């Protein structure tokens, strides 16, 4: 099991980043991986707080080229600090893992569980995939910063949270039908994140500081569950395969969490769960519940459902059991009002 050593969540705590990192004597530099926009917003606060030379590396895409660029810059650094939404955290995490130096995660939005998980979502050779790394040593989540992020990102975070419902069901199924290891503690921890969202969607939909906090706590817990399981199983099932298939079929149309949320509605139906409840909760937070809202065509939805199991054939899910074809995929998507 691998855990982050320190997690701090609070208002205005970005200005405490320097103390949080606890630089050892001697090794005094750090590389900051972040996108251009984020850099503009936080550079002043971070520079003042850290009080030592920092090398800012601009991350523009979550691919290996960016990972290598960050690695080159960080060869003599004590640590890498990833500040941003998704890309910078993924790229910084993998670069630090490969250099075997500490990684600190500083999320500026609550849009997915990569904030705390031991996995980095990286694209290479045309596809997106999760690469095993290590969880961040520390996570510093400034609620003032996260609450000021676009609501669309938080709505996507809700989609990634609710997806633990079907991910855990898929994991249980894989244990029953394919003899896979199933860790009850990790499964329950991930499931709790989904349930906190399902029960609290109305208040989370207010998009105030309390909802940003609830969301970021849920996403961090879910990522920690993956660290406990030593696999992405508690966080990623058939609904994630559906999202990965959409990434291959129509890349860049929607956010990861938006696609996972829609996937969860349909996979909940296949599992015999209350998919209407999932849909209602997503609606409460104004997250998309249909392909049309994301500019994804009915045909792309159906294709993604059919192609999802081949994205990762070793991952047994409800889609391995049900085996959808174009016709049954269309029926499922229509029945759950995704198309
Ligand atoms: Zn996810």
Q: What is the pLDDT of residues 299-313, one digit of tens each?
A: 999 999 999 999 889
- Ligand 1 centroid–CA 87 distance in Å is 13
Q: Which residue has the tokens 């500081």?
A: 209
Residues 6+ apart with CB under 8 A from 37: none
Q: What is the tens place of the pLDDT at every residue in 186-209?
A: 999 999 999 999 999 999 999 999
Q: Is the pLDDT of residue 14 over 70?
A: yes
Per-residue pLDDT, averaged over 9-38, amounts to 93
- Ligand 1 centroid–CA 110 distance in Å is 12
Helix (H, G, I), strand (E, B) or coil at 31: strand
The encoded tokens of residue 62 equal 């979550």
Per-residue pLDDT, averaged over 10-33, amounts to 92
Q: What is the value of pTM for the model shown?
A: 0.95
Between CA 221 and CA 19 the distance in angstroms is 24
Q: Taking a C-beta distance cutoff of 8 angstroms, is the pair 336, 279 a contact?
A: yes
- Ligand 1 centroid–CA 267 distance in Å is 15
- Ligand 1 centroid–CA 97 distance in Å is 20
- Ligand 1 centroid–CA 42 distance in Å is 26
């Amino acid at each position: 099991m691998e855990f982050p050593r320190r997690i701090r969540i609070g208002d205005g705590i970005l200005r405490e980043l320097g103390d949080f990192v606890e630089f050892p004597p001697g090794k005094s530099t750090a590389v900051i991986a972040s996108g251009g926009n984020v850099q503009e917003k936080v550079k002043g606060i971070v520079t003042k707080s850290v009080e030592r030379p920092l090398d800012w590396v601009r991350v523009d895409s979550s691919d290996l080229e960016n990972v290598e660029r960050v690695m080159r810059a960080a060869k003599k650094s004590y640590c890498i600090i990833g500040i941003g939404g998704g890309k910078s955290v993924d790229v910084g995490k993998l670069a630090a893992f490969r250099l075997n130096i500490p990684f600190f995660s500083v999320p500026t939005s609550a849009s997915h569980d990569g904030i705390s998980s031991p996995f980095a979502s990286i694209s290479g050779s045309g596809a997106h995939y999760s690469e095993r790394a290590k969880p961040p040593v520390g996570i510093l989540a400034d609620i003032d910063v996260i609450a000021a992020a676009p609501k669309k990102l938080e709505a996507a975070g809700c989609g990634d949270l609710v997806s633990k419902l079907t991910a855990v069901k898929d994991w249980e199924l894989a244990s029953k039908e394919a003899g896979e290891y199933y860790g009850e503690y990790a499964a329950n921890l991930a499931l709790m994140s989904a349930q906190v969202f399902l029960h609290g969607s109305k208040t989370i939909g207010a998009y105030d500081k309390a909802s940003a906090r609830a969301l970021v706590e849920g996403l961090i817990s879910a990522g920690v569950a993956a660290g406990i399981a030593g696999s992405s199983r508690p966080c990623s099932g058939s609904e994630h395969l559906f999202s990965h298939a959409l990434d291959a079929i129509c890349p860049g149309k929607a956010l990861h969490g938006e696609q996972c949320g829609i996937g969860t509605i349909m996979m909940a139906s296949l599992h015999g769960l209350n998919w209407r409840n999932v849909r209602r909760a997503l609606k409460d937070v104004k997250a998309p519940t249909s392909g049309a809202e994301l500019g994804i065509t009915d045909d792309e939805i159906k294709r993604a459902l059919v192609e999802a199991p081949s994205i990762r054939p070793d991952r047994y899910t409800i889609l391995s059991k049900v085996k959808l074809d174009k016709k049954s995929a269309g029926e499922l998507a229509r029945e759950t009002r995704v198309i």
